[in-house]
Structure 1
C-alpha cells in the first residue's frame, strides 16, 4: 500500500470500497503484555519481519514510553518494515505522545495510537476524572499527535461499557481534533456479537463527522467471543480489525488474526470483505510467535493447531479419502500446512489403514491386511499415538511371522527384585500349541530358556539389541536377536509395545530361519545322493 492510497483509506472507507478491511496486528504490543510472553529485541524484529511479509496493514510495535528497550524496538521496527504502517501506543499525555512520535518517525507510514478510558467505572475509579475533563484530554492529545504524524488512531478504552451519549461525544471530539481512525474496543471481553454490531451502527449513524474516519474493532476473549465480536463489528461498519497471532494478549487474549482472516475468506458468501493477508504464511507466523514467546499453540486451535487438519475417526478418514470437502472447509495448503494428516489411532478404520500402508510402500493381501489391521488396533488401544514407524515395525514383524512355522501365542512373565524370574510361554508349531514354564537370570533369560525347552537347538545367542521405535514411555520396542549355528548366522526382529513380547518374537523369528535353513540343507543333501 502506498502512502497516498493509505492516506485515502484512512480518511474515508468510501474511497477504498466498503469491502476492504484493514488488519492491525498488535502482537508486539498487546500480545507481549500477556504474562510470560515478553520477547527480546531480536525476537521482536523477527516477528515484525513475518508480519510485514504476511501483509498486515498496521504493526503496533510497542508502547515507547514504557521503557528504553520498548522505545528502541519500536524505533527499529519502524526503520526496518518495508510495507506496513508502524504504530506506537501512548496515553493521553504530552510526554507519552512526544515519545511515541520520536519512536515511529522513521517509519514509512508512521502512526500514533492514543487512548483514554470512557466508561463510568474507569473514569471514576481509574482516571478519577469527570466526563468533561476526559473530553478535554481527548481533544488535546489527538491534536498533539496529529501535529506529529498524518495518521492518528484514538481509542475509547472500555468502549463497550461506555454510555452511548458520552461515547458519541467522545468520538466526535476525537475526529474533530484530527483522528483518522476511531477504535471502540471491547477491552474486558464483555460484549456479544449482536450488541457490538449495534454499537458501531449506532455511533456511525449518530456522530455527524463519522464519515471522516475509519472505525476499528479490538476485542478480548474473556468470554471466548473475540473473533465473533470482531466480525460483528465489521458487519456494523468497522473497517479495521485489531488482532494478534495465535490470539495472545492480556488475560484470555485477543482476537486471533489467523481465525479472522480465514473466517472472512472461507465465508465470503456472507462476509463480502477483503484484506491483504497472504494466508499461506499463517502457520509459519504462528509457529514463530509460539517459539519466541514459549507459548504452545493448543492442539485443537482453529487454523494453526496441530490437529486443525488431522483426522483420526474412521468415519472421517473414509470421507476424507473419498473427497476432502466432506470434512474440511478449507485446504491445509491455503494456510501453509503441507497436507492433511490422517492420524492413525484406535478410531481409524480399515480404509485409512490400507491407504497408510500404500503410502508407506506396502501392498498386502486381504488375509495379511486383516491380521495386520487387528494387530494395529490392538497397538492403538495401548498407545496414545501410533506413528508411521510403529506401523512399519508392526507390518514387517507380521510379514515375517506369517511365514514362520513357529509363532508366539501367549507369554506371561514374573519379574522383580526377588528372583528367579519366570516365564510361561505358549508357542504354535504348525498349528500345534505347546506350553512351558522356565526360570532365568532375568525375564529375558527366562523367556529364551522357555523357547529352548519347547524348541531344542544348539544355536548360540550372539546379539540381543533393543531400541524404541518412537519417543515416549509407551513407545513400541523393536528387538533384534542374532543366532549362530554351525557357522550359519541369522537375525530375527520382533516389535511390540511390551519389550518382553518383542524379545520372544525376535528370538522365535531367528529360530525359524535356522529351521528353514536346516530344511533346505536336508533337501540339498537328498538331491545329491
Structure 2
C-alpha cells in the first residue's frame, strides 16, 4: 500500500537562527540552503524578510539560488511584512509566504491587545494579501497548543477559505504532551468543514524535551507536514530535530503511515556544516548525528554487533552519512581532488579565484596535520567566512608562555582600525592571558557568556574549534575560530565575536515567531 507524503519543512535558517548568537551571513545561509536542497528538503524557510535588510537579502539570495525546494519567508499578519516577503521571494522557482498571528487568549490579551474578532479579520486579510504573491500560503496559529478550541476551528476554517493551503498549529512554548497534542489535531481536522482543502502542519519547541514526540504524535493524527531544524537548533531549548524525525519515520515504517523524500546520506554532512557555521557543537550522545550515536563500548554490545549488526543497531551509520568518505586528503593532494571533495560536500565556488583561495587554505592546514577530513574542509570555509566579516580587529601575531605553578603570559599583536597595537597580560592560563591582553587594547565592555572547545576530528593534530559567546547591550554573538593551536583558535574566535559586535548588521536580538 502506497504511503502519504510527509512534507519536511526546514526552518534552520529562520527559527534556528533565533538561537542567541546563531545569526548567519547571507553567504552562510546560501551554503546551508544548498545542502538542504541536496538532501531534498521540501520547504526551506530562509528567514523573516521584514526583520532587517540583512534578512531580506538572505531570503532573496536563497530564493534566487535554490531550484528544487520551495523557498519560504515568514511574515506577521501585517501588510508590510507580507509585501516585503513577496518582494524577497520574487526570484524563487517555487515560493511560499508563511504568515502568522497569535490565537491563544494570553497572547491576544497581553501581547496583541486585540479581541478575537479582530484577530480573525486580520488573519483573513493577511492570507488574501499573501495569495497576491503566491498560490502557496501557510497560516500559523501562534501559541496554537494553548488556544481555545472553538476559536481555533473558526480561524482555521476562515484561513483555508481565504486561500491558505497549509495550516500550522505550533506548540510555540513547548507546553504540549504527545497524547494531548496529537488528539488536538485529530479533533481539529474532524471539526473543520474544509480541512480537506489544506495540509496540516506541526511546529514544536523542545522546552520539555518533547518536540519530536509531539511532532510524530501529530503525524499519527493526520498531520502531513513537520517543521523542524538541523540538530534541533532553535530559540530556548530548540525545535524538533529534522534528523530524528526523518529517521524515526524511516526506521519505524511499520508504524508510520507516511514517508519522506529526504536523502538521508546527507544528514551528517549537513549537521556538521550547521554546527560549524553557528558555533553550536553537537553533543556526542545526540541521536543520529552525535559522535557516539553508532559507537559501542560495552563488550556485550560489541560482540553482538560483530555477530549480527541488528542486535544493537536499528539503523546503518552509512545511511545517515557516517563514514562515507574513503578519500584521504593530505599535503600531496592536488587541486582537482580537493575541489571534488568540496563538491561532494555540496560546496561549489563562484570563481576560480575563490577555489584558489580555498586550496591555499587547504595547503596551509595540510602542512600542520597529516590527514584532512570533511570537517576540516567545512571549517576552512567557515573560518574564511568569519574573516570576511568587516574587520575592526585583525590578528597579527600571538605568543603564549605557560609553565606549571606559574601564571601564564600572552603577547598579542593586533591591527585596530588600521593601527598596529601590542599588549601583554598574565592570566590563569594562556587563553585567559590572551583574552586579558586583547581587552586591555579594545576595552569592549562585553560579557563572556560561553567559551567552548571542540575537537573537529580525531587525533592530537586535530584542529580545535573554539566558540566564544559575547553579550553587549542585549546583543549576543557567537565567534568561531579554528586552528591546530588551541590558543590561536581561541584568539581567532574572540576577535571574530568582537568584529560581529562592531558590525550590527550581522547580529540581532530575539525576534517574534512561531
Give me the TM-score of the superposition, normalised by structure 1.
0.61
Counterparts of 1:272 and 1:113, CA distance in 2:
26
Counterparts of 1:17 and 1:225, CA distance in 2:
29
Match of 2:164 among 179, 184, 204: 179
- In the TM superposition, residue 470 of structure 1 has moved relative to its aligned partner by 5.9
Match of 1:168 among 146, 153, 161: 153
5+ residue gaps, structure 2, are 325-403, 406-457, 462-514
- In the TM superposition, residue 306 of structure 1 has moved relative to its aligned partner by 0.2
**Residue number in structure 1 paired with 2:284:** 299
The SS at the match of 2:71 is strand
Higher relative contact order (CA 8 A, sep 6+): 2
Counterparts of 1:112 and 1:470, CA distance in 2:
46
Match of 2:248 among 263, 269, 283: 263
- Tell me if the contact between 1:151 and 1:179 (Cα under 8 Å) persists in the aligned partners: yes
1:235 aligns with 2:235: no
The Cα offsets for residues 3-29 of structure 1, whole Å up to 9 and x where unpaired, read as: xxxxxxxxxxxxx97621000000000
Q: Give runs of aligned pairs for residues 318-329 of structure 1, distance below 5 A.
A: 318-329=303-314
Match of 2:265 among 252, 257, 280: 280
- Tell me if the contact between 1:155 and 1:183 (Cα under 8 Å) persists in the aligned partners: yes
1:154 aligns with 2:139: yes
The SS at the match of 1:52 is helix
**Where has structure 1 moved over 6 Å in runs of 4 or more?**
none
**Residue number in structure 2 paired with 1:471:** 460
**Residue number in structure 1 paired with 2:239:** 254
- Tell me if the contact between 1:18 and 1:239 (Cα under 8 Å) persists in the aligned partners: no
**Residue number in structure 2 paired with 1:65:** 50
- Tell me if the contact between 1:180 and 1:214 (Cα under 8 Å) persists in the aligned partners: yes
Counterparts of 1:53 and 1:217, CA distance in 2:
23
**Residue number in structure 1 paired with 2:60:** 75
Length, aligned pairs only: 331
The SS at the match of 1:310 is coil
The Cα offsets for residues 433-462 of structure 1, whole Å up to 9 and x where unpaired, read as: xxxxxxxxxxxxxxxxxxxxxxxxxxxxxx
**Residue number in structure 1 paired with 2:12:** 27
- More helix per residue: 1
Counterparts of 2:290 and 2:261, CA distance in 1:
23
**Residue number in structure 2 paired with 1:111:** 96
5+ residue gaps, structure 1, are 1-15, 340-415, 418-468, 473-529
Counterparts of 1:41 and 1:201, CA distance in 2:
39
The SS at the match of 1:305 is coil
1:44 aligns with 2:33: no
- Bigger Rg over Cα: 1
The SS at the match of 1:66 is coil
Counterparts of 1:44 and 1:470, CA distance in 2:
30
CA RMSD between the two structures: 1.9
Counterparts of 1:207 and 1:316, CA distance in 2:
50
The SS at the match of 2:300 is helix
